[in-house]
Amino acid sequence: MDKVSYLAIMERSDEGYSVYFPDVPGCISWGKDVEEAQIKAREALDLHLYGLVAENERLPEASASVKIQNPTDIVCLISTYPKIFKERFENKKVKVNVTIPNWLKNQAVAEKVNFSQVLELSLKEMLCSSSQG
């Protein structure tokens, strides 16, 4: 999956621009101006396509043109790279709350242990060895 592009329709309102993709049902966004609407539309498209791929669904076919309902609507092409987004999204660091004995925490702090690094390496080792068994 390389670059994919879909036409987005921006509908002006008093508050800004709502955005939807006729070829990608359920993928909607909003921005206070055209620039923000385009940025938010790409974010929405990234997440929506990621969800489709995660559910093993095919990506929708992209139309070459769309019909607008209102002459003030804006049509723009939004492009993304699903493989790159998936890689970044799945490798994004997240906070995890863990519980360990106080004495162990104190000793690790005294030794300047990087808790995140130890947990990540331990989980990788445990999960990789159990999947090979």
Residue 117 Ramachandran class (φ > 0 left, ψ -120 to 50 alpha, else beta): alpha
Mean per-residue pLDDT of the chain: 93
| Interacting residues of 48 by C-beta distance below 8 A, sequence separation 6+ | 24, 26, 27
Q: Is the dihedral of CA 104, 106, 107, 113 positive or negative?
A: positive
The beta-strand segments (E) located in 32-121 are 74-80
The pLDDT value recorded for residue 86 is: 86
Q: What percent of the chain has pLDDT over 90?
A: 82
Q: Which helix (H) or strand (E) holds 6?
A: strand 4-12
pTM above 0.85, yes or no: no
129 confidence band (pLDDT: 50, 70, 90): confident
Q: Give pLDDT tens digits for 10-49.
A: 999 999 999 999 999 999 999 999 999 999 999 999 999 9
Structural contact between residues 15 and 31, judged by C-beta atoms closer than 8 angstroms: no
